[in-house]
Structure formats: structure tokens, C-alpha cells
Amino acid sequence: MALIEVKDLYLPKRLEHISLQLNDGEMLGLIGPNGSGKSSLLNVLGNVINAEGELTMQGEPIHALTDLERAKKIGLLPQEAAVAWSLRVEDVVALGRLPWRDKDNTKINQAIDQAGIRQLLGRSVDRLSGGERARVWLARVLAGTPRILLADEPIASLDIHHQLSVMDVLKKHAIPGQAVIVALHDLALAARYCDRLCLLHEGKLVAMGESSEVLTEDMLFRTYGIKVEVDLKRCPPLVMPA
């Protein structure tokens, strides 16, 4: 049974009747040009915005869950997170435990190590670089131990080393009983890490399947409007403008 199933999801001017499944233990990649609907889809699944359609988790309607129950099961890592206060890094990570109404130091410390931010402890988040803050937000979500982790462009502000580190963390989260949906612009990393890809364009689902089914030169030309060289047999895979 799918962990999450979406049927006929509609959001005016953003999503056009999207239907998809997120399987147990899967890392599903959302790809597509800017404005294609990736963030909107994640925000609907994360209960940030409402949309028409049917959303179920393990066969049960997601809307039947209380806000607290949903927050325990589904963690959203937004593309941008505002810094409202001069909180210390460790206090931001601890906020991930709010749905559980505890301060489980074991899970908080595990999240800190997973995100690789232990050297940032004691510092104020408003004095961190964009890439450092991005990893702090990831640790906050991981501290909540969600079954479903939704990540919107989690590597956008990171250097190459930390891009791979974060993708490794997300991949390790996609174990039996859990799953990940990640929005990415880097098609090569999407092919390298994701079990399946969902290609969106102008709010519509263009293609969905394994990398070899979605990342074809013809499909990418029709979606992005440029010629793309694709070699998925390479290790790591190659997807770049021709």
C-alpha cells in the first residue's frame, strides 16, 4: 500500500489535477522548470495550503488527522525559512520536537549529527550563512522523526560537499515505513538518488517513473525548451545542457 496517495489534486493556477503515489521506503524526486508546481504540491501535502482533491495516507484521508497527528507523521522542509528571532542553533533544532511535546535529547543530537551541524552549536541562526541555516532547518525536521519527509530544494544554497551530504541523509531516511519527496533542479542528482521521478510543467504531471523513463532527451527538450545531454549509464549519471 502506498504511504501517500494523491488523486485529482487541483489548485487554481498552480496544480492541474495531479495524481501520484509515494511508496513505502521510496525517495521520490519532483523535477521541472520554475513555476511548474513543485513547491505548491509539497505545501499541499505539508498542510500549508489547501487544494481540491483526495489525499490519503496508508488508505486513510489525511484531512481526518488532527494538526498534531499530521505534524508527527509529515515533516516539511521549506525552500526558504525566515529567521524571526536570534535563536541558538540547538534551540531551533529542538523546535522539531514540538509535535511530540517533549525534548528528546537523543533524537535532537542524532538530527544534529545527521545534518552535520554540531560545529554550529552555540551560534545564533541569524548570523549563519544561507547554506548553514539550510542544514539547521533540515536538522529541525529530522528531530521530529517524521515518517514522510518533504524537502523543497534542500540543496539550493549548499556547496558540492554539503549537497551530497544532504542527499545522503535524505536517502537514508527513505527506509521501510518511511519515505521522502524532494524537489530538485539538479537533474543529475535526481537521477542518482531518487527511486522515481515526477516531472511537472505548468502545474501538470508530464511524466512519472524511473529515471530512464523520465529523463529522456526528447522529454526534457519539450519541458525545458533546451537540448540536454543524458547518459544515465555513467556513474554518477550525467544530465546537462548540450
The CATH number for 111's domain is 3.40.50.300
Question: Is there a domain that residue 155 lies in?
Answer: yes
Question: Is there a domain that residue 144 lies in?
Answer: yes
Question: Is there a domain that residue 235 lies in?
Answer: no
Number of domains within the chain: 1
Report pLDDT for 211.
97
Residue 111 contacts by C-beta under 8 Å, 6 or more apart in sequence? 93, 96, 139, 140, 142, 143
Q: How far apart are CA 82 and CA 7, in angstroms?
A: 32
Exposure of 218 by Cβ count < 10 A (0-12 exposed, 13-18 middle, 19+ buried)? exposed
Question: Is there a domain that residue 214 lies in?
Answer: no
Cis peptide before 236 (omega within 30 of 0): yes
pTM of the model: 0.96
User: 52 lies in which domain range?
Assistant: 4-208
* 234: DSSP letter: S
Report pLDDT for 84.
66
Average pLDDT, consecutive stretches of 10 residues, N- to C-terminus, the chain (242 residues)? 93 96 97 97 94 93 91 93 82 96 96 97 94 95 97 94 96 97 97 98 97 97 96 95 91
Question: Is there a domain that residue 121 lies in?
Answer: yes
Question: Is there a domain that residue 178 lies in?
Answer: yes
Question: Is there a domain that residue 169 lies in?
Answer: yes
Asked if residues 53 and 7 have their Cβ atoms less than 8 Å apart, the reply is yes
Asked if residues 28 and 22 have their Cβ atoms less than 8 Å apart, the reply is yes
Question: Is there a domain that residue 219 lies in?
Answer: no
